[in-house]
Structure 1
Amino acid sequence: MPDGSLGFSPAPRGNPTGTPLPGVRKGRGALSNPANRYERSVRDPFDDGWSTLEAALADLPPLATTLTRDNARRALSWNDSPDLGFDRSINPYRGCEHGCIYCYARPTHAWLGLSPGLDFETRLVFKPEVAAILERELRRPGYVARPIALGSNTDPYQPVERTLKLTRQVLEVLDRFNHPVTIVTKSAGVLRDLDILGRMAQRNLVHVCLSITTLDDRLARVMEPRAAAPTRRLAAVRALAEAGIPVGVLAAPMIPGVNDAEMERILGAARDAGATRAAYVLLRLPLEIAEMFEGWLHAHFPERAAKVLKLIRETRGGGMYDSRFGTRQVGTGAYAETIAQRFALALRRHGFEQAGQNNRLDCASFAPPRDTALEPEQLALF
């Protein structure tokens, strides 16, 4: 299906009038804070007939971000999903301030008794001891190194990282242990750690991927209100490549009828900036996200909401989501197949590396450094 064939611009402009949209909080993506799926009772706003609800939602004040300590006992999370290219990951944060309405990690906030809506992007949980815990896990007898995915659930360089620096602490451990790591982020903040990443790149221990969903700054502000602007992400790609750090681009998610027409331009711009690898993921709407996304779509793009939802269902077997392994990342049906074909063609056209080409990080050099903290105890044995 050719770009723009749906009868509207492939780069939507959001709310053209500039007037506040009901329920929209400045700098936030979700329009509501629905109860999580484990709640026994649900509370919905109800208009009493005097239009007080509409007035109350017309111009809401900004929501502050709050932080809660997570006394986690483990740093690494393990998975055996055939859809993922890694078996272990680490996330210094739960929740993400970037506010991407489509984020597949939103439902995980229910495990904390919080909402996948505004709670997910305003009530963050951080792991202050994550680096120390990680070090203990890497020292366990029998541990075998494989690439760790940093930020597989929430962005490791979201705004709060500027002050807490937990991601940097994790990288410092991995650098000392010669442990390979992959990073996915939407933030130019990754450039802060060029010193560590540069050292690791010289030993083939790191690969960084910038997620770029659109080249339109206005659309990005609607889709990802607190993430770096597309131009800054492309600048980060260029800076990483110039520093000798392997870098790729993730065009994800591709939302049918919203940003998917930009896929080739995103890949081309990233390749020009120095990206050598690329991937894409079709929009995923598991659990509570489907209803939240639909409300967001009707609020920001009412003229095209019905068409977009129709296309989404075409790629998910008539539903809003298909969780089956092998299909949940790329969808099914004619429209999904067209996106896959366009992506493959763009890879060849722009000269990206094919899957499996020179993308294996060094796992054989893993070596836990000497634990000097234990030396006094060990010497006392003699």
Structure 2
Amino acid sequence: MTQLPGLLDTEAIRKDFPLLDRVVHDGKKIVYLDSAATSQKPRQVLDALNAYYERHNANVHRGVYTVAEEATALYEGARDKVAAFINAPSRDEVIFTKNASESLNLVANMLGWADEPYRVDHETEIVITEMEHHSNIVPWQLLSQRTGAKLKWFGLTDDGRLDLSNIDELITEKTKVVSFTLVSNLLGTVNPVETIVRRAQEVGALVCIDASQAAPHMVLDVQALQADFVAFTGHKMCAPTGIGVLWGRQELLEDLPPFLGGGEMIETVSMHSSTYAPAPHKFEAGTPPIAQAVGLGAAVDYLSAIGMENIQRHEHAITEYAVKRLQEVPDLRIIGPTTAEDRGAAISFVLGDIHPHDVGQVLDEEGIAVRVGHHCARPVCLRYGIPATTRASFYLYSTPAEVDALVAGLEHVRNFFG
């Protein structure tokens, strides 16, 4: 068995994840390498969900009976846990959404409806990057189309990094918001936050960071990032689907208008007008994802007990090993950084002229679960002249043996297609 420095006790950790014991295709034990799309859920999270539904299921905030008060305490307790997890200055800066996509759409719409000095209009510019997930492209395209703002973006270098050579020309006095991913879901690139944030601050632009591929894998400190908004999602970090987070600076949340209207986000309502509750409730209209938030809180507890520094160290070791092993496969080309420096645990590649969908299907027959396609980052595929990629992504439960299984599976793919 391959031994790498910095690995977690994966034998113990994997016992917490029931799905990792599944047997598929002729008795083969699943090799799950698609955590960048969604992570598996530990028993501790599943138990928290079951306990909520079995013992505490009620709507939150308005009920005065025991079960409703318990549900409210669990829901708001999850907000406290998330605030501590990301080092938010205030729990009231943590807004629950259904996913990171909704969080990013929330920011775009708030800025489109805002008054000065935050308003995005035809005299302003929006800056994103070519490596973004569609969730951090399409909302800004929609805002640009609706307001007349000019949309600009950083390009990519041949080795999968952001091209910052023209940063002063891209981020100018007209720039209203700069929105970019902390870690690319396709390339795995970890972006130079400090450089981009510094330039944005020089011109007075707001900064929005998509941390969907960062929050599960590394220490996420919103104060250290110095951004104005940070979005991430629960289902990639051991939590259920249907729960996301938007963190925003308190003064911005106080000044910006709500995007959705309905119950809970109001202070008073008459037939003529309404006034709004303070943040975070101002941005959480209607019945929220209560059970999902409880599950997210349990996931935060689980990850925190292991330690995000330890998880990051483990994944760096696995990624370094995987990059090295994959480069031993003939005709394989990694799309993105070919070292473990400043890169996350998602590795996308093409294998000769074999279509990624064919690669994925043959790997599946070997029990190996990878993601194929453009991974909601089609502009990246266009940049590198490829229709799609195969992506293997790792997490705290991934092992060197699974990397070896992937490499062996790819050799089987090559033999299959001759």
Category of TM-score, reference length = shorter chain: under 0.3
Structure with greater proportional helix content: 2
Structure with greater proportional strand content: 2
TM-score normalised by the chain length of structure 1: 0.26
TM-score normalised by the chain length of structure 2: 0.24
